[in-house]
Chains A and B, each alone.
Chain A
Amino acid sequence: MGEIRLEIPARAEYLALARQVVAAAAAVEPRFRTERIDALRLAVSEATTNAVESHADLGADERIVIRCDLDEERIEVEVLDQGGGFDPGGVPVVPSPTDPSRLDYEHGLGIPIIRELTDESEIRPSGAGTAVRLVVYRSAAAAARRGSEAVRAEPEER
């Protein structure tokens, strides 16, 4: 199946559009479970929010590119910004909910949410900015099956 490419201004008003386009792309494959599409919608919102923020910090006026690549088992989304880089190691470690200082952390929740909701995620520098790659399988079972196939395939490659 083909690739969809969406280009949006680095502004918060376009987040809803980014979520809508990616969710609609995933829904093209009828076997995608609703909760997987919800997970993808949230992960895309987090990645695109980070992209918008990184542009705002640097006053960059370049656009954010969102690429979706769908097949019958999985959807891969890449969010590319020109915001001047992002250090995943710089994400603060958020205290546990039982720690009273937890209330001081209003930010830093986006990356943990992405890691929790996607089957694969990767944040890497790309050109002048950052590329965030998100992969969600159509069901948890499909993700587990694909994972075990990868494990089985490994010895043959040696």
Chain B
Amino acid sequence: MHFALDVSAAPGADAVTIVAVTGELDMASAPRLRQELVSLASAGRTTIVIDLAGVDFLDSTGLGVVLGALKRVRAAGGDLALARTEPQVAKVFEITRLSDIMPLHDTIEAAIAAVVSD
């Protein structure tokens, strides 16, 4: 199964880290994302945007990793936002009502604005 992570500093907002995820986010791939997000938090990178444009499938294991990361960065005074979810991925956040806790942003720019304004 194809799964990839790409980590970069946000253009024009160096304090924000963008984690672009590609592939299917389930029990097989979620540990890799969890590990990356834990490493970032340990390195003090606690203002994070997860770009989900390349994710065509996400289940409750993926939700758990995102929720865990949100808790971790908020505890460290940072924040996390989600950007560019495909409709079938957005639906998973909506039916579990996690989109109430973590708004889904249409663009990377909107997600960056959400995490830096807090």
Q: Which residues of A contact B (CB under 8 A)?
A: 12-13, 15-16, 19, 35, 38, 41-42, 45-46, 49, 52-53, 96-98, 102-107, 109-110, 112-113, 116-117
Pick the most buried of B26, B92, B96: most chain A CB atoms within 10 A of its CB: B26
Contact A106 B28 (CB under 8 A): no
Give the residue name and chain of the A residue nearest to B31 (CB): A12
Q: What A residues does B26 contact at CB under 8 A?
A: 12, 15-16, 45, 49
| Secondary structure class of chain B's binding surface, majority of residues | helix
CA distance A53 to B26 in the complex (A): 13
- A78 → B minimal CB distance (Å): 19
Taking a contact as CB atoms closer than 8 A, the residue among B57, B59, B64, B92 that contacts A107 in the complex is B64
B96–A15 CB distance below 8 A: no
28 inter-chain pairs at a CB distance below 8 angstroms, sorted by A residue, are: A12-B28, A13-B28, A15-B28, A16-B26, A19-B57, A35-B88, A38-B91, A41-B57, A42-B57, A42-B88, A42-B92, A46-B59, A49-B26, A49-B60, A97-B97, A97-B98, A97-B100, A102-B101, A103-B71, A103-B74, A104-B71, A106-B68, A109-B64, A109-B96, A110-B59, A110-B60, A112-B95, A117-B95
In contact, A113 and B60 (Cβ under 8 angstroms): yes
Give every chain B residue within 8 A of A116 (Cβ-Cβ).
95
Interface secondary structure of A, over-half rule: helix
List residues of chain B with CB under 8 Å of any chain A CB.
1, 24, 26-28, 57, 59-61, 63-65, 67-68, 70-71, 74, 88, 91-92, 95-98, 100-101
A12–B70 Cα distance when bound, in Å, is 24
Q: How many A-B residue pairs have CB under 8 A?
A: 69
Task: Please name 9 further chain A to chain B contacts, defined as beta carbons within 8 Å, in addition to the given A97-B97, A110-B59, sorted by A numbering.
Answer: A13-B28, A16-B28, A49-B61, A103-B70, A104-B71, A109-B60, A110-B60, A112-B95, A112-B96
The CA of A97 and the CA of B96, in the complex, are separated in Å by 9
B101: A residues at CB distance < 8 A: 97, 102-103
A41 / chain B contacts, CB cutoff of 8 Å: 57
